[in-house]
Structure 1
């Protein structure tokens, strides 16, 4: 039996506080299990924007642990915009020297940093170094390929994940992302995948927002808004919920004050979010997103589920 199943599962579903709770009571039998538990614990704190926990409890050198060092670095990257360039340069130098190239979490977090910087091709190159049986790295490869409009390669990646463990939550999520990218009839399939997880594990902002995105692509804006408001009740400051609420308020023709309120909250709580830093994404490109959604086609200007943290 997997002693860390609930820890891992809650993390992938975006239920970060539940992940932390499960990690704190998990009984690990080996040092390897404890290290894995700690990695999910600290990453969950980062997912909650509680950067002070990993920054305060992990030394900059990770106490000799490559994985913990990578997590500390990611916490620095996410919490200190002024240090991001230095962190990216440090990551690039270590990757070039092939240092820690055999550590899965180092590669995963390095790829995440590149993705946050919109360097998707660099992220993909990093992930291609990862062990072939790493479902987390494979899931992030799927997201990279979808961002690069390579749904054909993403489909092959999902198939490989299914061959490794088709029942794993992260494999099911990857299939849902692929279905969303394919659009049209596949949107219902994606919605039902999220619904099955919701019925089995309970509602999380990630699942509700993902379902809402499926509905928006089907022009079911009022139904999407209900799901998003439910997600907001669970996490009022969730960036992806705010972005989606901003979008759906535009689709529904709500008063400008309402959509502005969502965007202003996003700017206040998440000043480094790409919707805030990239003005183009809230300008002319948004009109393109509207048209693509109405045609049942995915848009890279519309929020897809966030990458694994």
Structure 2
């Protein structure tokens, strides 16, 4: 879609860094960037979500007062609480159930609510929450939930909606890669190129390296996957997705290469 008539996106770098998993740079940019008042909250939300992605939940909980009335800040603080304490998660979700009777209209609040259900592997409720949401992030989370439910057909339709909204968005490109991985076969190489192009255009991150590794694993290229995952580990030794994929890659390699020994 043509974008010549759009005003400059003052949060483009922050947004892109967050979506590609460059969380520290998101925080650095958000800390120093001066924006108009109408963009201040959105900028802060990317910063707080980056702290959450780094597991620095205390920073968010200390910075946002429990008494805050701004609904987006209430939502991101609740996400920090949800991530910080597994013992509180059921109660938080129970409270959300009582509040979700069609009353929540804010797109960001819907996103955060749906994300907590997604993390709880409650994909049907994730989709229910996102049903009337139309932001790109909500569309992307919808696709992730549909892929978890093996509904590739519906995920493709949601991707078409994202493409119609903004085909050049980093989120749309990432969603295209996820769907290509789900399709498999020759689409795996296309997915790999998307992750590579994003790395070349922006910066290499564990998130993008894990995407490439998953493509390699699906093609049986375990050594290449190991190399990508090791680089991801070098960049962030505590990234849970990297650790999960390292184990999965080794198990898959052992299973595929296993040959029963023949007794002589």
Give the TM-score, by structure 1 length: 0.79
**Which whole-Å CA distance do the structure 2 matches of 1:247 and 1:149 have between them?**
20
2:238 matched residue in structure 1: 237
Find the residue that maps to 1:14 and give its secondary structure.
coil
Is residue 81 of structure 2 the alignment partner of residue 76 of structure 1? Answer: yes
1:204 matched residue in structure 2: 205
Contact map agreement 1:23 1:41 (CA 8 A) in 2: yes
Find the residue that maps to 2:100 and give its secondary structure.
helix
Find the residue that maps to 1:245 and give its secondary structure.
helix
Is residue 55 of structure 2 the alignment partner of residue 52 of structure 1? Answer: no
1:59 deviation in Å?
1.8
Is residue 123 of structure 2 the alignment partner of residue 117 of structure 1? Answer: no
1:90 matched residue in structure 2: 95
**Which whole-Å CA distance do the structure 1 matches of 2:192 and 2:99 have between them?**
40
1:147 deviation in Å?
1.0
Larger Rg: 2
Runs of 4+ deviating beyond 2 Å: none
1:122 deviation in Å?
0.2
Find the residue that maps to 1:171 and give its secondary structure.
helix
Q: Give the number of equivalent residue pairs.
A: 250
Extract unaligned runs of 5+ from structure 1. 254-286, 292-309
Contact map agreement 1:20 1:41 (CA 8 A) in 2: yes
Among 127, 130, 137, the alignment partner of 2:130 is: 127
1:95-133 per-residue CA deviation (whole Å, 9 max, x = no partner) reads 02x33x111111001101101111000000101121x2x
Find the residue that maps to 1:252 and give its secondary structure.
helix
Among 25, 32, 35, the alignment partner of 1:28 is: 35
1:250-307 per-residue CA deviation (whole Å, 9 max, x = no partner) reads 2333xxxxxxxxxxxxxxxxxxxxxxxxxxxxxxxxx7xx79xxxxxxxxxxxxxxxx
1:164 deviation in Å?
0.8
Extract unaligned runs of 5+ from structure 2. 1-7, 258-264
**Which whole-Å CA distance do the structure 2 matches of 1:22 and 1:129 have between them?**
32
CA RMSD of aligned residues (A): 1.3
**Which whole-Å CA distance do the structure 1 matches of 2:27 and 2:112 have between them?**
19
Q: Within 5 Å, which residues of 2 pair with 1:188-227?
A: 188-227=189-228
Find the residue that maps to 2:129 and give its secondary structure.
helix
Is residue 49 of structure 2 the alignment partner of residue 43 of structure 1? Answer: yes
1:159 deviation in Å?
1.0
**Which whole-Å CA distance do the structure 2 matches of 1:128 and 1:252 have between them?**
39
Contact map agreement 1:3 1:27 (CA 8 A) in 2: no
**Which whole-Å CA distance do the structure 2 matches of 1:155 and 1:105 have between them?**
23
**Which whole-Å CA distance do the structure 1 matches of 2:253 and 2:181 have between them?**
21
